[in-house]
Chains A and B, each alone.
Chain A
């Protein structure tokens, strides 16, 4: 149980285009999902917390208009990187938890974004 999937696993796009990444909880309902960014050989940096049916909460320094998050259902959250630039190239990982104060987050396999 507690499986989280991400799609796509990797994507290459041209500078200026937008890319959508999906995060799904496959066998549980996730009231809260989290989006992280990981640079090579570094730790995970929380970008935003996505709550089903409400606006996402962004961490300081993360541009809301650039990283659009939608959590329309209890099993799906999407992250859209708008007008992508090479510096947006990174490994994006989502996680999901159930309940208001879930004690465990389960992570997706990650999406490798490369912007040319």
Chain B
């Protein structure tokens, strides 16, 4: 079975400061890893993914994430947060050997204060 953990329910950061949203995963095989962002009453917007290759993945809106196999982590990062980055962030995993079903973490609410 595959699972995802986002240990922080909420992350508060001042505008201009670095932002990190943590994610760890568990799969039996090789993982596909994703980050999505959700604004209020909206669907999920795709930010970035790791499939294979470079461990550092760059995505939309200046976000990046680093795949760390030994720590089974895929933390989302942004060097300088904006107030408009305030939203709900979801990490998701798919086991390559288990079809295309995504498992989501519980979500982390990011609040960027001006």
Contact = CB atoms under 8 A, between A and B. Distances in A.
Interface of A: 2, 4, 6, 32, 34, 42-44, 46, 49, 91, 93, 95, 97, 100-110, 112
Interface in B1-59: 32, 34, 36, 41-46, 49, 51
Interface of B: 32, 34, 36, 41-46, 49, 51, 90, 94, 96, 99-107
Contacts of A43: 90, 104-107
A93 B94 CA distance: 18
Contact of B102 (A2, A34, A91, A112): A34
A6 B32 CA distance: 26
A112 B43 CA distance: 11
A44 B107 CA distance: 9
25 contacts: A2-B46, A6-B43, A34-B102, A42-B106, A42-B107, A43-B90, A43-B105, A43-B106, A43-B107, A44-B90, A44-B104, A46-B103, A95-B44, A95-B102, A97-B100, A101-B99, A101-B100, A102-B100, A103-B32, A103-B94, A104-B46, A105-B46, A106-B46, A107-B45, A108-B43
